[in-house]
Homo-oligomer: A and B are copies of this chain.
Amino acid sequence: MNSLEQSILAIGQQARAAGRLMMKASDQQKADALLAMADALDTSRPELIQANAKDLHRARERNLDAPLLDRLTLSEKTLIGMAQSLRQIAAMPDPVGSLGPTQVRPNGMRIAQMRVPLGVVGIIYESRPNVTIDAAALCVKSGNATILRGGSEAINSNMALAEIISAGLRNAGLPGQAVQLIPTTDRDAVGYLVTMTEYVDVIVPRGGKSLITRLSEQARVPMIKHLDGNCHVYIDSAADLDKAHDIALNAKTYRYGICGAMETLLVHRTVASTILPKLADSFTMKGVELRGCPETLVILPDATPASDSDWAEEYLAPILAIRIVDSIDQAIEHIARWGSGHTDSIVTQDVDAASRFEREVDSSSVYVNLPTCFADGFEYGLGAEIGISTNRLHARGPVGLEGLTTQKWVLRGNAQLRG
């Protein structure tokens, strides 16, 4: 075992030990820790901005592009937002220890399920240093220990934030090692982290598809994955066309780069010639390129022809694929074939169509008369999110505090015996 592997192993062992203590922490302690971190973020702004300046300097030397520099930057404003987020998460109800409905069995024993922390959560993320705070806060509140592995570009910012986090934990009588940042940018560290099944219970990879694909090959620890969002809006024959216009426009243009952005618009044949020209005007005004199926091109002759690869693509850009369909069945089939099971929406005034779409579209979020860009933990009332899961098991869609817990069975009896 080399020294890097040894040091990751030691981090894992410390996380496991801290996790056992976090499991028992009271909500008061956890809230106190988060509030102490928020206060420290407020008072340490100059030091944090200084640490961040080192990362920015190095990033500029390496000619990183503007959006990346933007995501890397800790400004006064982002620091204020991070402190706010900590205070919000501190105020949320503690999921740990809550009991589901109690059943009484025929022999009189009582049975229920209790929410408990997952244990040790490993989070692998890229350059945004605010994830360090959000992820730590969600894991602390849900009673987990956390191992953070941030992007190498943000190492100085993250180290400074990690100190504030550990001090906040100790301040509340909790183990400082309940949140640990891997203090090296060596890539091999990730390989050790995702195979340490004895000390890590789940890995949350936040980053591009290539990161997740690479980790899927290596990982032995289960992952809560966040893969692509190839999201659809289907405008039904029974749609209110004014609503349909606004929903489709918002779904695409609220922000192009988010996983909940609409990538393909499906339109029922009977309404296509009415709605598409109006929608095309609005999209063109916003600078969105339109790619259509042959029937769409008849209505929108200026659009580019779409090929099969357009149905499959998550553009994350001002490009929209449009297809005209014969029926809700064909819309559901299109989504089953080409979608990524992320977020899909129907626009309709027909309750039966709404129910069928809700039931039969097998995506982690299914909407009626709403734009897909609502796919976000904050919008769902989860406070914040550790990611948007495209897994089928455990947690689907935005993952907040509840997704960072699991349930155990608790049974109480009076010496009932078996057999």
Contacts and interface: CB of A to CB of B under 8 A. Distances in A.
19 contacts: A20-B362, A24-B360, A105-B381, A119-B362, A119-B392, A216-B220, A243-B414, A254-B419, A354-B412, A368-B411, A370-B413, A370-B415, A373-B418, A374-B411, A374-B416, A393-B406, A394-B394, A396-B406, A397-B409
Interface in A376-419: 379-381, 391-394, 396-398, 406-419
Given A366-B410, A369-B413, A374-B411, 8 more contacts: A118-B393, A201-B393, A222-B391, A362-B408, A367-B411, A374-B418, A396-B406, A396-B409
A114 B365 CA distance: 10
A305 B354 CA distance: 68
B254 A418 contact: yes
Interface in A100-115: 103, 105, 109, 111, 114
Interface in A167-224: 201-202, 216, 220, 222, 224
Contacts of A409: 364-366, 380, 396-398
Interface of A: 20, 23-24, 97, 103, 105, 109, 111, 114, 116, 118-119, 201-202, 216, 220, 222, 224, 240, 242-243, 246-247, 250, 254-255, 336, 354, 358-360, 362-371, 373-374, 379-381, 391-394, 396-398, 406-419
Q: Among A240, A359, A368, A411, which residue has the most Cβ atoms of chain B within 10 A? A: A411
Contact of A109 (B111, B362, B370, B407): B370
Contact of A362 (B23, B254, B374): B23
A351 to B, nearest CB: 10
B415 A369 contact: yes
Q: Among A118, A336, A367, A397, which residue has the most Cβ atoms of chain B within 10 A? A: A367
A243 B222 CA distance: 40
Contacts of A365: 408-411
A367 B412 CA distance: 6
A233 to B, nearest CB: 12
A358 B419 contact: no
A369 B373 CA distance: 50
B202 A247 contact: no
Contacts of A392: 118-119, 201-202, 406
Copies of this chain, count: 2
B418 A371 contact: yes
Contacts of A255: 419
A368 B374 CA distance: 44
B374 A109 contact: yes
A103 B382 CA distance: 11
B369 A414 contact: yes
A363 to B, nearest CB: 7
Contacts of A114: 358-359
Nearest to A222: B393
Given A202-B392, A415-B243, A364 B111 contact: no
Contacts of A394: 393-394, 406
Contacts of A371: 417-418
A250 B418 contact: yes
A249 to B, nearest CB: 9
A392 to B, nearest CB: 5
Given A254-B418, A419-B250, A412 B24 contact: no
A367 B393 CA distance: 26
B415 A381 contact: no
A131 to B, nearest CB: 21
